[in-house]
Amino acid sequence: MHSPDDRAADLIAAMTLDEKIQLVTGYLGMPVDLAAPIDSGGAFGLTEEMTPPPGAVGSDGFVPGVPRLGIPDLQLAGAGMGVTSLVPREQGESVSFPSAMAQTSTWDVPLIREFGRRVGREARVQGINVMLGAACNLTIEPRSGRVFEYHGEDPILSGTITRQELLGTQDEGVVASVKHFAANFQETGRFVVNSVVSERALREGELLAFEVALTGPADETDEVGVGAVMTSYNKLNGTYASENHYLLTEVLKDEWGFRGWVMSDWGAAHSTVPSALAGLDQEFPHAHWYGSRLKTAIENGDVPESRLDDMNLRILRSLISVGLLDTSRRPAREVEASLDTARRIAEEGIVLLQNDGILPLPRGFAGVVGVIGSHADIAVPSGGGSGAVRPIGGDPVSDPQGNLPRYWLPSSPLGALRAALPEAEIRFDAGTDQAAAADLAAECDVVVVIAHQLTMEHFDVPDLHLPDGQDELIAAVAATATPTVVVLETGGVVLTPWRNDVAAVLAAWYPGHRGGEALAAILSGAVTPSGKLPATFPDSEDDLPHREVFPMPPLHGKDGPVELTLVNILTEKQGEYFDAVYDEELLLGYKWFDATGKDVAFPFGHGLSYAQFSYDGASVIPGRDGGAVVTVSLTNAGEVAGREIVQVYATMPEEAAAPRRLVGWASVVLEPGEGREAIIKVPATYLSIWSVEETRWVRPPGTVRLDIAASSRDVRLVRELGTEQRA
């Protein structure tokens, strides 16, 4: 049987020049008004009246296939929280899963693989065969409007979780694309920002996350490989990501051996010849730079036809590898199974940040419980923009957001809590009147304040405070002296100035279609919390490496002020370029707070439980490749079953000039009184530094300190690993 590469080569040999150009030229797969303004209300020019291209199902992208050769049309849609549908289409309502921050808070590799499969299967139900996700950018700017789509501040954790979603989607016969390559750290001015990052900081931070997502650990067998990579809008060190030869060819294709294809984000390409020669294989949307322009460049000899053949080979190889040329059968829809997966992710991803003993509320609790805020009687929030999922059941909140989607999901924390605590009297207040909310709290035995933060693509949040006076609402409720539980339904981390005045705090993130039920299960003790933070909650924005998001100059084109629209994006009328200089270098996320000795509200890796785990001993076995295997004896000394995430952090030899970093973890489920060994494999790369001089990973000589911990700041055991100990 022919290999995917051989089959792809045979198809290319039979294709005409026009067919080859066609396969690398993408279009919008949905109706859109290019001249409509992009504004904070959500407008993006989406319309239900216009007609999508012939053959398109109505999604983010469309590429006509080659029917005579059995090459299918490519139908591309967003991923991350489920299958997106920016405009209504047949069966376009989907299960909305918890956000990427919630997914990563599970630290649960098999569960995220299952999530990827669920997304892949639902994509096939809707006729989608290429998914535009997951996002692997590091959340080093916590105010970014897309933090909810990203997988935290650590490259190894982010890359590992992202990889499982991608491969899970491809398990179901759908190509998965990882985005946004690379250094897309903020939404402010994302079309005109130049991310300035040193080579070593880039390789040990952002690019390491993508390297892990695309290549996995050295001992992993992966014949298929991730199918596609999407470039980012920004420049990186002065060069557009979509025409950055260092990124797309030298690192991605040559060094990492990536065999799939590179597509541009929508409107992220800026040239024909430089992009093609740099490694961009497919351009979206509207054939602005490829299409006829690329054909002319081929005919003139500016781009070799062998490069066009390589573009096609990469696309076809990915399609063949996942089975898209061998079957077009749509599977049966499995909504209930997807809802079950969504609930399990939410349950494992909710992080108990603080608890003075008020939680869990026992099932027989017969007191008065107040539930306040955030439409908790009918809904939970979700993130907005191209990653928003049009929810099954519709949006229960009448709160129009323009036509760039931002939805609330039909899941009621209030109703779920009433079902979980049938003997309690549970009262609700909308939280819109601070005095009324405080009056209700004063009449209760315990009160749950559910706070929210709505974030979306295109717009960063102005600061990390809860919006709409919710900090003051929480403070007013807590001042009644009624034990107060705060639930944070947010895109990312927020400030918690009231935390010392409340009894418990939970980070629920955007908890998805079964978020209300998951939250009630945690509050009532039906499920023991086990989530751990993938990002640091700072004590103050003054403690961040950058006090504010890098500001964007006013939008001015050649003829004066420019309105931000899709047509202006596509014709490069986007404003003046500006630099975002990430001079914190290697100190990303928790590494910054640790190295600078700053206090934090809640550290990276933190998460409490109703169980009690004791770390009873550990051993380290050096590996021949320079890695190690860490074995930890763990016991549940509590009265309920629970899951612990055992974390390993490495402090490198002083000569390495490297910050302490996460190098591995294990998820262990224990019954009361049960003991078990957790085994953590640490690859050599994770104990290495990037040598700019040698342009490779180098394991520094000397002794590495390994902290075996319950969080980045809760070290339970310490062991050492010396390079001289290698077997």
pLDDT tens digits for 298-319? 999 999 999 999 999 999 999 9
* pLDDT in the model for residue 51: 58
Whether 151 contacts 162, CB under 8 Å: yes
pLDDT at 52 over 70: no
Integer Cα distance of 442 and 457 in angstroms: 39
For residue range 623-634, what is the model confidence (pLDDT) as tens digits?
878 899 999 999
pLDDT band with cut points at 50, 70 and 90 for residue 388: very high
| pLDDT mean over 48-55 | 65
Asked whether the predicted pLDDT for residue 572 surpasses 80, the reply is no
Determine the average pLDDT of the residues in 274-295.
93
Pairing of strands 703-711, 714-722: antiparallel
Q: What is the dihedral of CA 460, 462, 463, 466, to 10 degrees?
A: -90
Residue showing tokens 């931002």: 406
Q: Which domains does the chain have, with CATH numbers?
A: 4-321 (3.20.20.300), 345-541 (3.40.50.1700), 612-725 (2.60.40.10)
Residue 419: the pLDDT is 97
Residue 107 is given by DSSP the state T
pLDDT value for 554? 73
Which H or E run contains 613? strand 613-622
pLDDT attached to residue 50? 47
Q: Indicate the pLDDT class of residue 567, thresholds 50, 70 and 90.
A: low
Residue 44 has pLDDT above 60, yes or no: no
Question: Residue 402: is its pLDDT beyond 80?
Answer: no
Per-residue pLDDT tens digits for 424-449: 999 999 999 999 999 999 999 999 99
pLDDT of 552 reads 84
DSSP class per residue in 267-290: T----SHHHHHHT--BB-STTSSS
pLDDT one-digit tens code per residue, 678-689 = 999 999 999 999
3-state DSSP assignment of residue 632: strand
Kindly indicate the confidence band of residue 88, based on its pLDDT and cuts at 50, 70 and 90: confident
Give the whole-angstrom CA distance, residue 451 versus residue 478.
Answer: 14
What is the pTM assigned to this prediction?
0.95
Q: Peptide bond before 182: cis, by omega within 30 degrees of 0?
A: yes
Q: Contact 562/189 with Cβ under 8 angstroms? A: no
Determine the pLDDT at residue 275: 98
